[in-house]
Amino acid sequence: MPPFVFAPLVKIALGALGAGAIIHWAVKEVRRINQELDRVKSGSAIDRQSLPKLQRDPQTGEFRPM
């Protein structure tokens, strides 16, 4: 069999391997991001009662904690 027949087959095989590697990486990244989002989503919500109340300073106009 002539060697020029193998060149397209090698290119196709390398392309398939490269596409498989990219898909594998993308799936891994999507799973990692979803795990991180789920972790943040399940975290405790901020208790607004524990936050300090703000009041406007009449001299400067800035909001400051009471």
Q: Assess contact for 37 and 48: CB atoms under 8 A.
A: no
Q: Assess contact for 63 and 51: CB atoms under 8 A.
A: no
Task: Quick: pLDDT tens for 3-53.
Answer: 666 788 888 999 999 999 999 999 999 999 999 998 888 776 677 788 889
pTM of this prediction exceeds 0.75: no
Inform me whether the pLDDT recorded for 1 exceeds 60.
no
Token pair for 59:
């001299």
Inform me whether the pLDDT recorded for 56 exceeds 90.
yes
Q: Which residues contact 53 (CB under 8 A, 6 or more apart)?
A: 65, 66
For the chain, the 3-state helix, strand and coil shares in percent, each to the nearest 5, are: 65, 10, 25
* pLDDT value of residue 7: 83
* pLDDT value of residue 5: 65
| SS3 call for 38 | helix
